Structure 1
């Protein structure tokens, strides 16, 4: 998802365009992988030292709820990244050191669902964690 598509989603949900939201989206749009809220905060505070961590965290959570951001837990904290392709089912390998991701082209759910007769699967999330070649 690019920043303009993110603004379309925010506008549909009656969110105003603010400089903090703009900075968060621009920062994450240029990151290759998951980023912790604290890293976003440190970046934003360079230009706006008065911005609170709570404001940043609330915006990240809102963006995630609206499908603008993907999130995962990495090293004990929530991490965020721009959503790859809204509406396209996919999974990732996530580097536990740098947070960079690699697209996994297939979904293991077809194999797993066979072993769950009689259940109604409503959703799933599949992530593979390890170290990328640069972090090994």
Structure 2
């Protein structure tokens, strides 16, 4: 999904394309990694010194509600966000050091016996699957 696709979808849903919103979207498009709201704020605060963390939270919330952001948690309770690259559900390999993530092109649920889950009287509504480790760049440094 390109920045222009996101701007078009925002307009479609009646949202204004503010300079701050543009900057958040361009940053996420450039970074190609999951970022916390605080990361996003820190990256753009110099350009927009009056921008509050609350404004970033609101913008991230809008983008997430419109299914333009993936949200994940690295196990520390902080939400991290990355622009959606394609429609449908996704799974990722995520570097614990730099936050770089890459989509995997399969769904692990396809390899699980779902009949045994249904027999337990459980209906799956959604699922998440992320593999956490170190990317080639961070893993080579040896300072995990």
Give your verdict on TM over 0.5.
Answer: yes
Q: 1:128 aligns with which of 126, 131, 139?
A: 131
Aligned to 1:109: 109
> What TM-score, normalized to structure 1?
0.91
Higher normalized contact order (CA 8 Å, seq sep 6+, divided by chain length): 1
After TM superposition, which residue ranges in structure 1, 4 or more long, deviate above 3 angstroms? Answer: none
C-alpha distance in 2 between matches for 1:133 and 1:98: 11
Larger Rg: 2
SS of 1:47 mapped into structure 2 = coil
- Segments of 5+ residues of structure 1 without an aligned counterpart are none
> What TM-score, normalized to structure 2?
0.86
Aligned residues: 135
Q: Deviations over 1:64-101 (max 9, x none)?
A: 111111111124311111101123x4311111111111
Aligned to 1:42: 42
C-alpha distance in 2 between matches for 1:27 and 1:14: 22
Q: State the shift of 1:26 in Å.
A: 0.4
- Segments of 5+ residues of structure 2 without an aligned counterpart are 140-144
